[in-house]
Structure 1
């Protein structure tokens, strides 16, 4: 993929290195670049064209680099340059800038080994991570599926095997993940020199629980030996160690209303450090920026006695994020085991001395977590055409309960399987409960791990279509069965009955039971006027049925009737008060595209072209997703090819391919089915035109 970054424009209005400039100048340039990027993004802050927005990231990266030796700015510069290289890996100007950045980073950190090749070390760590992910993927592929038509005894045996296999996979990933971090730490010691004070890197979160994935964040603290006064050397060590992913204030300022607007859906998420947002900051630099309501900072590079102070409830409340909860469960990654042993001893002592108050705090926190991670509430997001957080629904709702049991019974284990085993050995739970809890952990770990591996990133959110493509149809049938049972009950007064009935039609559509879905729609229309629900609810339900009807009729070949349903959908969208919102524009654009597709299938190519061009115009005017533009160019190409207008069709197919290549990471291009089809369509046009 060719670079779209201009060398001359990359450094436009940015001072040369070494030239100081005031905060006002920096802020003005930063905000100006952020505003330029905002114009290049569509709904929810996602980039419309990652290749084009790379130029903005490049300029911002150079800008933040000049602001150093402010260490946070240095890290942010690295994050921005990393964002560019993920979009433009062959950009030579960027490679040169990265080399210069590494040199300046070593100078700022006071490194002893100034000729260290940070990019080579980074590439070696990346190779180790790739090997870890490949091994995990192979292990997952060997897992057996438990069928439904077996005896209880056979099922129990397969569940025991599943527990054993998942436990082994998690232990292997944890070991390899730790190896990567130890490799980086050793290289940093070589670079910084041997004159560092004694220290220990201790992991928190899923790595400490041995439930880490090959894409999980690295949450950790740095413990120092007692008596250390200055921590500057260790801060510089961590800057070298940094994983290059932090929040950029002009893009993601969670402290200001509307400030958190940008979402990087392109750069692969994981492995990275925790975010710099006030509620996160589970990394050594901790909380570095004050807010109006929480005007203090917190650092997690501390001597042992100061780190243990975070277990104090007053300190917990003051700091406003769950540092108390996470430092209770840690594991040593690198450094002095003596320091780590002192820390764990003091943690145990503190927890034991404040057992009663800690239990009250734990129960309160568990109640809050179970509410936040409520599976039913999160699954309902799918019906609202929203995103469902698979980590919350499947993994956290299980792991937080097991962890809480461990703390309540003072069990000195972190791995969920180990906690359950200890509870069983201590006769706190019986054989059956131990098995059921272990199987729940195994399933939750497998689902989260499989999803991350499938997405090749730490992507917790599952959309409607992804969810139903990922899960078996048997599960959709089970869901449909539940709704059917509810519908048979006397729930006439339920405020959600209309939504329930529409949901049934939606499930039937997802199961490709199109005729049944159409019948369900007719039932809703005949019943909804008699239900005791608000007029607004009736109106919303009725208008949700048109796209369901349109889709079902389109799938069974009733194209003219489908067009009528989609026309009704457009009428509803035009009457909405929020029709200028991006989500409504997107719905309108996709409805027009569906009309175009139906007209194409019906053989009315000119009418189809007119509809698709209108949908494309909405895309262009509102910065809608690139994939929607690609689909429009594809359908325009299909229409003109059907009309034997091969020159025009070739132009559209080439435009489609160009956009898809810019929007799909290089590592996925050869396997992308849409890219394969675009190339095939270009070949067909060239054959018709006898182009060699």
Structure 2
């Protein structure tokens, strides 16, 4: 081992050396915690690894094992950033040899790095097979007729089932190989045991980049033997060696192991200020932070509020206690829910079978408690993983978390139904099939749900394979254009327009059924996709041309009965599609039809809002103001929630301000914008941060009015307020550019030319991020900004 200064430090104390290294690392990171140059971080991580290796020798029991895991993680972080450094590799080899002595391993000369290389080959094979299988999938064309569509959907369901089973088997075999090597290394186990997998492995929905959630079950009666503590130590070291083999793959991000000097003290969840973008997150273990720890070593560190530890190496009966209400509530992170779904990985199958039988019996005995717990969890998930609300928010977002928005919006609730009905199968496909056998859902619902699961698995798997990482984000770093969302373009590219539209339509209707209390009591429901569902999702996914063309086809054919209510909402989607395509006359025609024929208060509210926008965007400013004055009293008569009522008041006040600003009635426009800001305070908090972005827009508009009035100081205040709100809540870049332009002009008119140059240059740099390079010379806004810079520089001369 390379010599390092001997430190007297307790497990909970940070040494000056580590704090110094953390400070150096921070200097090599930007304000988001991302490394500017990973190569420069390599020696920092190496030195940190040495510190934790040394620290492990000064503590005992579980803390020692925790420090060793941190140490090897840091060594691999160093090597992945500077692979040719012989000292880093030498220290890692020494670490592995030292670990085997600490563990009192039977095979003290085991080649842990060699085992990792073999595991790497298995991983490469698994990923290559998955890649080929995904490439063989074909998307369903929009031109396919209904009968042909059904056949293609069935084929996709079967193909995705096969792909997921194949990946699961290969992943399981890989973990079995590691476990075999750990047993060979540690020597004959002191008792019978079994490794049980959990999470996506148990659900047969694992990916080639998923983490390994698992527990170690000991044979019943082991706790009564005199050598029980020695038994536990065997399996603890077994688990540490298992960890080291996987960590040597260099697919574990540093924050996973909770390095204390990298913890962001300003965040309550104990997350890291360091954002490891260099490491491709792949085959690893569940994080070692207190709220995670779904690994045999379990929860090692205590927190102020949860001052206990949780170990997941236990005899069967002791592990089953986590399913009891008191233990589950005490543990604090739904451990009972996690243990309900499991699968056999390695060891003695009879030990695993005893645990599986015990889970079934325990759940039956505590049926009422578990049913109530599941129902509460289901209600919470329906609130937090709302497919339609997520899609609505996504329309004004630059990135999509596909695991939450796509994958979990169906699989989470299929799993919940499986638990509520005591269905043992872990796979979503298998649960759906059993629900059909039990006559809880009909054939059509079974098909629709199975197809939704196939689509969600394809999206998640494709994204991971393309990124070569367990990275759930699809999209861009910054939002450029709210009418051309790159997230939707990407998702359509993965599974095709038709499948994506149907997926969200199914997810929304499925969640609506689960929210219906009467249907939850008897838990029987049927899903039927109507034309209105299709139109709604086409619109939500910004497929406006398709909305318009399909509406024309629908009017010509109209073979399927559609209620007047549904037809009104379909017209509404078509009207908004025309509006976003700047086809204002077509849009106004449809708004007027709805205005004349529909009595739906929510729909009437939407008509008021968008008819006013259409009139304004058509340049009919006086008509817009007349219309707003006309409908304002009507809002009071509509049966709307308070939030909806204030949302329309907000929009009408804002549109009124836009009209008056164009008519050069600046003082009146400022009053309207300020009124719009006041109304926004009463809008539902679930619309945050959208309403904050809109607040920034109002401040920007007030600033322009003040600029036109010649009050540059006040205009600067409003512009800076708008800029702060926009930066904080990720406003579209084009809006941020306009703020810089306003501020630049204000300072320019005050004769503060140097300040103006800085602001105009920021505007140019920002526009350069979303205006294509080949169009930058011809872009009017870019040309104006450059002219303003030249004018200021000329004045400075």
Q: TM-score, normalised by structure 1?
A: 0.72
1:355 and 2:349 correspond: no
Deviation at 1:43, TM superposition (A): 3.4
1:472 and 2:506 correspond: no
Deviation at 1:396, TM superposition (A): 1.2
User: For 1:533, what is the secondary structure of its paired residue?
Assistant: helix
Deviation at 1:327, TM superposition (A): 0.6
The size of the alignment, in residue pairs, is: 562
Deviation at 1:208, TM superposition (A): 0.4
User: For 1:45, what is the secondary structure of its paired residue?
Assistant: coil
1:200 and 2:200 correspond: no
Unaligned ranges ≥5, structure 1: 1-9, 506-520, 548-568, 596-609, 620-626, 636-692
Is the 8 Å Cα contact of residues 693 and 729 (structure 2) preserved in structure 1?
no
- From 333, 346, 365, the counterpart of 2:345: 333
C-alpha distance in structure 2 between counterparts of 1:211 and 1:584, whole Å: 33
- From 223, 235, 238, the counterpart of 2:217: 223
C-alpha distance in structure 1 between counterparts of 2:144 and 2:698, whole Å: 40
Deviation at 1:255, TM superposition (A): 9.8
Is the 8 Å Cα contact of residues 274 and 280 (structure 1) preserved in structure 2?
yes
User: For 1:215, what is the secondary structure of its paired residue?
Assistant: coil
Residue 236 of structure 1 corresponds to 237
Greater RCO, CA 8 A, separation 6+: 1
Is the 8 Å Cα contact of residues 402 and 460 (structure 2) preserved in structure 1?
yes
1:36 and 2:24 correspond: yes
C-alpha distance in structure 2 between counterparts of 1:541 and 1:35, whole Å: 38
Q: Matches of residues 146-157 of structure 1 in structure 2 within 5 Å?
A: 146-157=140-151
C-alpha distance in structure 2 between counterparts of 1:447 and 1:251, whole Å: 33
Is the 8 Å Cα contact of residues 42 and 582 (structure 1) preserved in structure 2?
no
User: For 1:298, what is the secondary structure of its paired residue?
Assistant: coil
1:252 and 2:250 correspond: no
User: For 2:405, what is the secondary structure of its paired residue?
Assistant: helix
C-alpha distance in structure 2 between counterparts of 1:172 and 1:430, whole Å: 28
Deviation at 1:354, TM superposition (A): 1.3
Residue 47 of structure 1 corresponds to 35
Deviation at 1:577, TM superposition (A): 7.0
1:15 and 2:5 correspond: yes
Deviation at 1:458, TM superposition (A): 0.5
C-alpha distance in structure 2 between counterparts of 1:525 and 1:617, whole Å: 26
Deviation at 1:55, TM superposition (A): 2.4
1:533 and 2:676 correspond: yes
Q: Matches of residues 272-283 of structure 1 in structure 2 within 5 Å?
A: 272-283=284-295
1:108 and 2:98 correspond: no
Deviation at 1:497, TM superposition (A): 6.5
1:120 and 2:132 correspond: no
Residues 652-690 of structure 1 show CA distances to partners (whole Å, capped at 9, x for unaligned) of xxxxxxxxxxxxxxxxxxxxxxxxxxxxxxxxxxxxxxx
Deviation at 1:336, TM superposition (A): 0.6
Residue 65 of structure 2 corresponds to 71
Residue 521 of structure 2 corresponds to none
Q: TM-score, normalised by structure 2?
A: 0.63
Is the 8 Å Cα contact of residues 194 and 352 (structure 2) preserved in structure 1?
yes
More deviation in 103-112 or 469-478?
469-478
User: For 1:289, what is the secondary structure of its paired residue?
Assistant: coil
Residue 675 of structure 1 corresponds to none
- From 161, 165, 175, the counterpart of 2:159: 165
Q: Matches of residues 151-550 of structure 1 in structure 2 within 5 Å?
A: 151-228=145-222, 229-230=228-229, 231-242=232-243, 243-244=246-247, 245=252, 246-252=257-263, 257=268, 259-260=270-271, 261-383=273-395, 385=397, 387-464=399-476, 467-472=487-492, 478-479=539-540, 480=542, 481=544, 485=575, 488=591, 525-526=658-659, 533-534=676-677, 541=694
C-alpha distance in structure 1 between counterparts of 2:416 and 2:573, whole Å: 33
More deviation in 453-462 or 472-481?
472-481
| Structure ID, larger Rg | 2
- From 107, 127, 131, the counterpart of 1:137: 131
Residue 649 of structure 2 corresponds to none
Residues 621-676 of structure 1 show CA distances to partners (whole Å, capped at 9, x for unaligned) of xxxxxx99xx99xx9xxxxxxxxxxxxxxxxxxxxxxxxxxxxxxxxxxxxxxxxx
Is the 8 Å Cα contact of residues 179 and 346 (structure 2) preserved in structure 1?
yes
C-alpha distance in structure 1 between counterparts of 2:16 and 2:462, whole Å: 44
Deviation at 1:584, TM superposition (A): 8.4
CA 1:41–1:587 in structure 2 vs 1: closer, same or farther (change >3 Å)? farther
C-alpha distance in structure 1 between counterparts of 2:144 and 2:699, whole Å: 42
User: For 2:68, what is the secondary structure of its paired residue?
Assistant: helix
C-alpha distance in structure 2 between counterparts of 1:589 and 1:107, whole Å: 61
C-alpha distance in structure 2 between counterparts of 1:251 and 1:428, whole Å: 50
Residues 478-508 of structure 1 show CA distances to partners (whole Å, capped at 9, x for unaligned) of 33348664675777978x979x989xx9xxx
CA 1:157–1:281 in structure 2 vs 1: closer, same or farther (change >3 Å)? same
CA 1:393–1:540 in structure 2 vs 1: closer, same or farther (change >3 Å)? closer
Is the 8 Å Cα contact of residues 420 and 437 (structure 1) preserved in structure 2?
yes
Structure 1 vs Structure 2 CA RMSD: 4.3
